[in-house]
């Protein structure tokens, strides 16, 4: 993996309106991600910056240094309705640089201060650093931490997610969150055909999530947008060459064939049900805070 370089930038807005997804608002304190997941759909966002989806996405990271300040202004507006925000939709908010910069930590504090619920999506055990603030946010508005784990197979993990923490560390972090009373679960996404989609692979992972205290499981099949497709196929050619022809045939378009997606959905739903997971566990978080949150006196964390 290439050594990362960081560009400090400022954002004009923090909360982004999202259309056509399962959430209406998102926050992303970073652009690019050193987790370097081969399948990451967010790689395509680097093309809009004039960079490539490969090494540039993994090593040229943009940091929104004023994110917390801008976010607080937006949350303080009279028209803000305290709707749920998704944190970590285009880049992991707990990638390694967060350990030093603490921007995501400042975001969590701001959301708690202004009673705004959040769904955090991450692959990083670093999230447990913020358990105290997450508990405060849970009490004031509601919080969900969705830990993305695609497999417990460490050989596959090393190839597909080389910059992330080992999956067993993520399971341990999930247990710590659950033990602290944080609503948390596992995103098995993407499920990669012929690599992580076997009955055994899914069953082992879902059982581990259940034992760690996960309250929901969500899974999504691999999707390869054009720019991401080329990068992913390079990984397949290098590490799973026996699957290359099959992948090229079945991913002529972004999505796998419908018959495969339906079969995968049925299999996952069946295994989920065996372990007692309901189908509606990832429901939106209700707003539980005051109608007009009072101005907090806690100090603003420096970005």
Residue 281 lies in a domain: no
* Residue 243 belongs to domain with CATH number: 3.80.30.30
Which pLDDT belongs to residue 217?
96
pLDDT at 50: 72
Domain for residue 189, yes or no? yes
pLDDT of residue 51: 67
Torsion of CA 190, 193, 199, 202, to 10 degrees: -20
CA 56/CA 239 separation, integer angstroms: 21
- Residue scoring higher pLDDT (239 or 287): 239
pLDDT, tens only, 127-163: 999 999 999 999 999 999 999 999 999 999 999 999 9
Residue 57 lies in a domain: yes
Q: What is the mean pLDDT of the chain?
A: 89
Asked if the structure places residue 296 within a domain, the reply is no
Reduce the DSSP state of residue 210 to 3 states and report it: helix
Residue 122 has pLDDT above 90, yes or no: yes
For the segment 118-126, the average pLDDT, to the nearest whole number, is: 97
How is residue 176 written in tokens? 């710590």
**What is the distance between the alpha carbons of residues 37 and 95, in angstroms, rounded to a whole number?**
12
Q: Is residue 300 part of a domain?
A: no
Residue 300: is its pLDDT beyond 70?
A: no
Domain residue limits at 176: 5-274
Q: DSSP letter at 153?
A: -
Whether residue 267 is predicted with pLDDT greater than 70 in this model: the reply is yes
- When comparing pLDDT for 197 and 41, which is higher? 197
Within-domain flag for 290: no
pLDDT above 60 for 293: no
Domain assignment of residue 285, yes or no: no
Show the tokens assigned to 160. Answer: 């597909």
Q: Are 118 and 104 in contact (CB under 8 A)?
A: no
In a domain, residue 179? The reply is yes
Scored b (16 or more CB within 10 A) or e, 169-208 reads ebbebbbbbbeeebbbbbbbbbbbbebbbeeebbeebbeb
Domain count, the chain: 1
């Amino acid at each position: 993996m290439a050594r990362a370089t960081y560009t400090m930038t400022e954002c004009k807005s923090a909360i982004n309106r999202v259309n056509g997804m399962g959430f209406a608002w998102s926050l992303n304190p970073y652009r690019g991600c050193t987790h370097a997941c081969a399948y990451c759909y967010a790689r395509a966002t680097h093309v809009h910056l004039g960079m490539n989806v490969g090494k540039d996405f993994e090593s040229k990271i943009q940091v929104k240094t004023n994110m917390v300040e801008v976010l607080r202004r937006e949350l303080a507006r009279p028209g803000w309705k305290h709707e749920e925000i998704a944190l970590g939709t285009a880049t992991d908010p707990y990638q390694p640089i967060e350990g030093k910069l603490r921007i995501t930590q400042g975001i969590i504090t701001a959301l708690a201060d202004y009673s705004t619920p959040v769904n955090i999506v991450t692959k990083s055990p670093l999230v447990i650093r913020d358990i105290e603030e997450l508990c405060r946010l849970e009490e004031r508005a509601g919080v969900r931490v969705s830990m993305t784990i695609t497999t417990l197979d460490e050989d596959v993990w090393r190839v597909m997610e080389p910059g992330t923490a080992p999956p067993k560390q993520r399971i341990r972090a999930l247990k710590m969150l659950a033990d602290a009373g944080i609503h948390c679960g596992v995103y098995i996404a993407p499920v990669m055909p012929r690599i992580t989609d076997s009955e055994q692979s899914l069953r082992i992972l879902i059982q581990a999530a259940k034992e760690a205290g996960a309250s929901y499981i969500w899974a999504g099949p691999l999707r390869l947008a054009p720019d991401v497709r080329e990068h992913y196929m390079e990984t397949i050619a290098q590490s799973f060459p026996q699957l290359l022809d099959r992948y090229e045939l079945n991913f002529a378009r972004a999505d796998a064939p419908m018959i495969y997606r339906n079969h995968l959905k049925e299999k996952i739903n069946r295994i989920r049900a065996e372990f007692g997971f309901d189908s509606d566990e990832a429901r939106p978080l209700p707003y539980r805070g005051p109608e007009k949150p009072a101005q907090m006196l806690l100090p603003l964390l420096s970005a």
